[in-house]
Structure 1
Amino acid sequence: MNAAFSYNFPSLRGVQGGNEFFVAMVPLRLIPRIFLFDEEEIPPEHRAQRIINKSRIPDITNYILENSKEYVFSSLTASIDGQVHFQPFSDAHDFEDLGNLVVSLDSKFLINDGQHRRAAIEEALKISPDLGEENISVVFYHDKGLKKSQQIFADLNRHAVNTTSSLGILYDHRDQLALLTKDIIAETPLLERYTDKEKVSLSKNSPKLFALNHIFKTNQKLLGKKKGEFITEDEKTFIKEFWEVLCDSIVEWKQVLNKELNPRELRAHYVVAHGIFLEALGIVGNFLYYNHPTDWKEHIKKLSNIDWNRSNSKDWLGRAFGPTGRINKNNQTIQLTANMIKIKLALPLTEQEEEMENTLKQGV
């Protein structure tokens, strides 16, 4: 192979399953050049990855640009179809796996894992070319004819488990709403004791009452905010006071805190033990924040007078739970539950909420 017509990557050589692989540090500016990605040009038999979801790219791009001094990316994984030669820097036994990976210029590179990162890097470089001198690690596999590329993708993802959204919030130290949510939990005895910070849903026997992601989503609805948006001091004050008043207004929650009722019993018999209730309250709280800025606390306190028992099918059937009694949480049922709470609090429904109520009545 002519070294003048090749890529040269300082690399570390390893062996897995009896086959060589190589870990290289690649400048970001080279990523869009060597890893071309055009789904229309890649034959189906070589599409060893998911079809790219273009809606994900702006978020990843913004992550790079907004955290240019501290962003972190895991390695890309790629297959090489072409001539490959590894040149050790030294013949010494301890250094024989450290050297240059020489790849012919006419080789084809196919990303097995990391196509969204590749696309985001390309977009980030257009805005901030200086990032091109930074590096990302790439794990290369030699795959003649790209015959193994699909199997590589399958093997890489076979045991992959995505972190839960609750853990993502717990470990997020940049997002203002995530930080505020964690502060509220830490400062509120009921939430601090009974919030599961890892799971996104709780089993019927869980000793916890809430999942962190449910509280976070409730806060999003309370403020009408998306992840990453700025939160004012007034909004911070409101949301902290909201949870304080709420925890003091739900009688059943106080019974759990006082050990008069256990979480399992609450979950089995009351609507207030489920994420659908919290998120519905987020909608109601948002309405109060903008329409009752001075007396919203009085409305929240009236929640103590509502019958939250799941046996109260007149109010909650078709909203918080279905005919089988199973809690059914989706955008529609969250809104329908919020509608009933507003009705109980003598708050007016919006035109859209009225339409939902009419549709529900026609379906009964």
Structure 2
Amino acid sequence: MGSRTSSKTKHPTTSTGFEYTFPAIRGIQAGREFYVSMCPLRLIPKMFMFDEEGLPPEVRAQRVLNKGRLPALTRYLLDNPGDYVFSALTASIDGDLRFSGVSDEGAGMRIGQIHIPMDARFLINDGQHRRAAIEVALQENPDLGDETIAVVFFHDTGLARCQQMFADLNRHAVRPSRSIGVLYDHRDDLAQLTKLLALKSPVFKGCVEMEQSTLSSRSRRLFTLSAIYSGTQALLQGLEVNKTEASDLAQAYWEAVDQTIPEWELVRDRSLCAPDVRRDFLHSHSLALHALGRVGNSLLRESTAPARWQPTVSRLMDVDWGRSNADWSGRAILGGRVSKSHQNLALTTNYLRLRLGLPLSPEEQQTEEAFSRRGDA
């Protein structure tokens, strides 16, 4: 852990004569020494300052802090004090840091302590949002301060090097697909429910791509896990039901929808190929599932009893889901491709509501009228 010690005379490090000392492991990358240490969370806001927001991009070593990301990160840390994971921070040190190994040869040369002047400047190359979230979380739960986070320290050799480090650290970063995020999420009740639907429901079993959020033209899957998640999330939005009731409602609703779309059953029976269905019809796309979820939510808000909403759902049999249907042009399909924009989702939902004889809200009516005026122009 970090500590403050007086510098010895033979190792003058700062004008103040005081320094931070951290246990560390020394390594080499690209011929440069770097050090890995553990830092108490309570020291992170004090050591790693962020004061570059007013500078133009060309003279900054980091992107501007996106404060919109902080609430989610902070809540994650506070809501999971016994089960959170924060990856290492990467920082450059503008100061005369030094390393003292436990021995002068062998493995002991790589294990020891780093001594950092207290007036040295710490610059985060990767992890400034984690650092900011830690600062906010500590205000609400100071007990987190005794926990630690790994920090990788590099020696600061100038702005150009720090900017290059930022570029290199983020160059090959790939955000995981939403489907695999749902698949591996064991905290989110809706993710758990979605996985059960995908693996056990007669509607989806064997037809779901569990890892990718987009399907290749040759994929034999009909749906993606992320699409089922979005549709089910819209279906259950705001309903005051427990986990078992939510699972039963979702299962019943998607089975009712399945009864109105014969192509889904034909794919399960291998009478039709999934790529052909996805190419010729709209109903297996994420946009359609999301819109179906929204429509179902309106019905379930009126009554969760299947006998009340199933007759309305059965009217979906009259919907022409074929992509050749001119009604979808501009509403769900733009330039020959299915569009998942917020506007197209709203218009697709409106279309289904109207076909089922359901009323539109004032906002939905405005959206529909604007679409109609655009078509008349």
- The aligned counterpart of 1:139 is 152
Alignment of 1:67-106 (within 5 A): 67-106=80-119
Give the alignment partner of residue 25 of structure 1, picking from 14, 21, 38.
38
1:321 partner amino acid: I
Unaligned 5+ runs, structure 2: 1-10
Q: CA deviation at 1:261?
A: 1.0
Aligned equivalents of 1:145, 1:263: Cα separation in 2: 55
Question: So what's the TM-score if we normalise by structure 2?
Answer: 0.90
Kept after mapping to 2: 8 A contact 1:214/1:279: yes
Inter-CA distance 30–231: structure 2 relative to 1 (3 Å threshold): farther
- 1:285-325 CA distance string (max 9 Å, x none): 11111124431122222222322111211x22221212x32
Inter-CA distance 199–73: structure 2 relative to 1 (3 Å threshold): same
% same residue: 45
Aligned equivalents of 2:303, 2:99: Cα separation in 1: 70
Question: So what's the TM-score if we normalise by structure 1?
Answer: 0.94
SS in 2 for 1:272: coil
Inter-CA distance 127–27: structure 2 relative to 1 (3 Å threshold): same
Aligned equivalents of 2:57, 2:357: Cα separation in 1: 58
Q: CA deviation at 1:43?
A: 6.6
Give the alignment partner of residue 339 of structure 2, picking from 299, 305, 328.
328
Inter-CA distance 338–44: structure 2 relative to 1 (3 Å threshold): closer
Stretch moving more, 197-206 or 62-71: 197-206
- 1:105-147 CA distance string (max 9 Å, x none): 1111110100010001111111111111111000011013344
Aligned equivalents of 2:49, 2:76: Cα separation in 1: 22
Moved over 4 A (4+): 41-46, 229-233
Aligned equivalents of 2:188, 2:69: Cα separation in 1: 18
Aligned equivalents of 1:155, 1:76: Cα separation in 2: 15
- 1:47-74 CA distance string (max 9 Å, x none): 2222111111111111111110111111
Q: CA deviation at 1:46?
A: 4.7
SS in 1 for 2:357: coil
Alignment of 1:1-364 (within 5 A): 1-2=11-12, 5-40=18-53, 44-224=57-237, 233-294=244-305, 295-313=308-326, 315-322=327-334, 324-364=335-375
Unaligned 5+ runs, structure 1: none
Stretch moving more, 282-291 or 10-19: 282-291
Aligned equivalents of 1:69, 1:305: Cα separation in 2: 51
Aligned equivalents of 2:63, 2:300: Cα separation in 1: 42
Q: CA deviation at 1:192?
A: 2.5
1:271 partner amino acid: L
How many equivalent residue pairs?
360
1:329 partner amino acid: K
Aligned equivalents of 2:37, 2:122: Cα separation in 1: 14
- The aligned counterpart of 2:7 is none
- 1:22-66 CA distance string (max 9 Å, x none): 001111111000001123366744522221111111111111111
2:352 partner amino acid: I
Inter-CA distance 7–107: structure 2 relative to 1 (3 Å threshold): same
Kept after mapping to 1: 8 A contact 2:201/2:251: no
Cα RMSD after superposing both structures: 2.0
Q: CA deviation at 1:350?
A: 1.6
- 1:197-221 CA distance string (max 9 Å, x none): 1212222222111111111111221
- The aligned counterpart of 2:3 is none
SS in 2 for 1:189: coil
Aligned equivalents of 1:352, 1:249: Cα separation in 2: 28
Kept after mapping to 2: 8 A contact 1:249/1:303: yes
Aligned equivalents of 1:156, 1:348: Cα separation in 2: 51
SS in 2 for 1:193: coil
Q: CA deviation at 1:360?
A: 1.1
